[in-house]
Amino acid sequence: MSSSVLSPLSQIPPHLQTLADYETQAQKHLSDMVWQYLQGGAMDEYSVRDNRQQFSKIQLVPRLLNDLTQGSTEIEILGQKFPHPIFLAPIGHQQQFYPDAEAATALAAEVLGSNFILSTFTNTDLRRLKAENPFKWFQLYWQGEREKSLALVKLAEAQNFKAIVITVDAPHTGIRDRERRVFFHLPENMQHPHTPTHIPLPELREDQHPVFNGLMQIAPKWADIEFIIANTHLPVILKGVLHPADARKAIAIGVKGLIISNHGGRVLDTAISPLKALAKIKSVVPADFPLLLDGGVRRGTDVFKALAIGASAVLIGRPYIHGLAVAGALGVAHVIKILKEEFEVTMALMGTSTPDDINTDYISQE
């Protein structure tokens, strides 16, 4: 770490009031290489920007004079109750941002009652996370074959994780210009207890295509998802679905929930924003089918808008990593607290006492 990079803070300074403040502060605590990795996206980064901009195109239409004295932010997904609908998205290699990595994130999430989705590429052994914490799901990156993938699922089962989230939108890494310009690389000694950072590729003949016969040959297919569903008692959720036809197919094979996401704009540039995709998918799935929105959430009003369009909960990614870089577990907890309080005030000002009250009647999309 160069001398120009600030060490993590041991207390929160008063100027950190918003998620945007944390974003500004976080850059001072990370090397330029790691910062460009965190903030960057695929190609021209249209999707990175669009994920956030779509929220500003929706206006709120409040209802007044309602009795909100019994108000609550509690939600229920797949029979599990959560104190609020702000979840932490799976992000790998968190040791880049703070020495205690996912252990610090998990602690903050537990204290604030935020559901934490642990990445396959965790630097922290999942057995180190508190087994009795009910608010944790495990995210699976396909390991190139069924048995290796199922072994991770079984490990998550044994450690009391409550759901399996399979990321399906990144069978190939996105072309990230920012990363390439700064020659991004992970530290050589970085530990990934559950998986190698690179799945071994099939050997190619001269006449075979490096993309289609390489990575895509070992990428998961629908039948692989069915295999996992058949071999775990945990609900399986797919992350990265954007097309209504894929949503319908997922339901047909027994998937229990979807995370509507374009991977933070990091994989396929100009992909539809999750907020737009959510509206399209909501119209083709059963009314009570869990849809979670991942991407672009920076304000409590954004959480409200996502729920109004049909999300059961939202995921935040980069914002909590900004908190982690600034002040470890304390920073992550503060980021969640800021967003949660903004959401609570928004609910009150909108005249809604519970998340179930929130629907399209409260927004204008003209």
Q: What is the pLDDT of residue 68?
A: 93
Q: Which amino acid is at 310?
A: G
User: Catalytic: 263?
Assistant: yes
Q: Is 318 annotated as a binding residue?
A: yes
Dihedral Cα 220, 222, 225, 229, nearest 10 deg:
-170
Least confident span in 75-84, 102-111, 127-136 = 127-136
Start-to-end Cα distance in the chain: 49
CA pair distance 221, 102, nearest whole angstrom: 29
| pLDDT tier for residue 1 given thresholds of 50, 70 and 90 | very low
Mean pLDDT (the chain) is 93
The tens digit of pLDDT for each residue in 151-167 reads 999 999 999 999 999 99
Average the pLDDT over 322-343 and give the result: 98
CA pair distance 332, 335, nearest whole angstrom: 5
The tens digit of pLDDT for each residue in 21-34 reads 999 999 999 999 99
Q: Is 337 annotated as a binding residue?
A: no
C-alpha 121, offset from chain centre: 14
Dihedral Cα 29, 34, 38, 44, nearest 10 deg:
130
The model's pTM: 0.94
Residue 291 clears pLDDT 70, i.e. is over it: yes
Rg (CA), the chain: 20
Count CB-CB contacts under 10 A for residue 112. Answer: 21
Query: In the structure encoding, which two tokens stand for residue 327, read together?
Result: 């002040």
CB-side neighbour CA atoms (13 Å) of 219: 16
Closest CA to 331 of 91, 98, 113: 98
What angle, 0 to 180 degrees and rounded to 10, lies between the N-to-C axes of helices 222-230 and 146-158?
Answer: 40
Name residues whose C-beta falls within 8 Å of residue 46's C-beta, 6 or more positions apart in sequence. 265, 269, 270
Spot the catalytic one: 192, 194, 263, 334.
263
Q: Is 71 annotated as a binding residue?
A: no
How do the domains of the chain map onto residue ranges? Answer: 20-63+75-185+215-365
What angle, 0 to 180 degrees and rounded to 10, lies between the N-to-C axes of helices 244-253 and 222-230?
Answer: 30
Q: Is 255 annotated as a binding residue?
A: no
**Tokens 């495990």 map to which residue?**
138
> Which CATH number is correct for 20-63+75-185+215-365, 1.10.1740.10, 3.30.360.10, 3.20.20.70, 2.160.10.10?
3.20.20.70
